[in-house]
Amino acid sequence: MTAQASVLDDRRCDLGEGPLWHPGRGQLFWFDINRGQLLSRNDEGPLSWDFGGPVSAAGWLDEGHLLVASDRALLRFSIKDGSTEPVVALEADDPRTRSNDGRADPWGGFWIGTMGRQAEPGLGAIWRYHRGELRRMFSGITISNAISFAPDGSHACFADTRRRMIWRVALAEADGWPAGDPQPFVDLGPAGLNPDGAVMDAEGTLWVALWGDGSITGFGPDGQRRERLALPSPHVSCPAFGGEGFGTLYATTACEGLGAAALEAHPQAGMTFTVATGLRGQAEHRVVL
């Protein structure tokens, strides 16, 4: 597929992550995890909010508020004044971990993955917050990623980047909780590829950022590899759909782990991009507290 990547924001993130298109505001938000920042843009220019510690993913609550995953909690965040209120603690008893990848589900819940701050093997998990309850669903994850949902709500996907595996799990129609055990969906081990963040389009294709490969690559509902979209940054971290008709693919990238020579060779590494593809995405679901 022919795709044209353009720079949306030229601030170089150390670890850009978690892009979220707020459909009510028509505005993209994303994070620099290592710098503890939430980033955005409006007609007046770039915006940023400092959290004083890692923040990684968000869902939208209403016109003026986001649910933000910090290293220790889920927070209700005011876009207007930058204030936060704790919603629920997240692995607060284990200082070794932090949040990583997350996304709202079709039932108003919010899935959030955790990982060790030093990517310690098996220290992370996949959690779901739904109508006041935070429940750990899957444990033994090293680097949680690729949380995404089928357009018909039939299943979810998630990955462990360290294991180079993406799983698919069926969801209960009534409330969205897992309806069985996760099943292997895409094994990227033989290809030596590292799945990072992901999003599903309106046709059910899973678009996966491949860390180190400089791409977002599509995998059909059958798990077979489809198109590869190249970006001018080796470490592509997460895609999200937004814009008019959800026809724009956004992508965060990272500088983390790139030496001086790699940064010189890739001067746009860490920037945030738009990718014109002709694809049609889904609207981001609202989180219901």
> What pLDDT score was predicted for residue 214?
96
* 41 contacts 28 by C-beta, under 8 angstroms: yes
Label residue 1 by pLDDT band (50, 70, 90). low
Taking the C-alpha atoms of residue 145 and residue 156, their distance in angstroms, rounded to an integer, is: 12
Active site residues: 196
pLDDT in tens, 57-96: 999 999 999 999 999 999 999 999 999 999 999 999 999 9
Q: What is the pLDDT of residue 220?
A: 97
Q: Left, alpha or beta for 5 (phi > 0: left; psi -120 to 50: alpha)?
A: beta
Instruction: Assign 24 a pLDDT band (cuts: 50, 70, 90).
Output: very high
- Across-strand partners of 207? 199, 218
Q: pLDDT of 122-135, one tens digit each?
A: 999 999 999 999 99
Phi, psi of 101 (to 5 degrees): -90, 145
Closest CA to 142 of 158, 123, 118, 126: 123
**Model confidence pLDDT, tens digit, residues 194-224:** 999 999 999 999 999 999 999 999 999 999 9
Query: What pLDDT, in 10s, does the model give residues 152-201?
Result: 999 999 999 999 999 999 999 999 999 999 999 999 999 999 999 999 99
Alpha-carbon separation of residue 65 from 36, 237, 284 (angstroms): 18, 24, 14
Q: Would you tell me how many other CB atoms lie within 10 Å of the CB of residue 241?
A: 24
- H or E, element range at 262: helix 260-265
Q: In this model, does residue 281 exceed pLDDT 80?
A: yes
* Each residue's pLDDT tens digit, 238-260: 999 999 999 999 999 999 999 99
Residues 252/32, Cβ–Cβ less than 8 Å: no
Element (H, E) at 265: helix 260-265
Structure tokens at 180: 């069985």
- Per-residue pLDDT of 89-126, as tens digits, reads 999 999 999 999 999 999 999 999 999 999 999 999 99
Per-residue model confidence (pLDDT) at position 4: 84
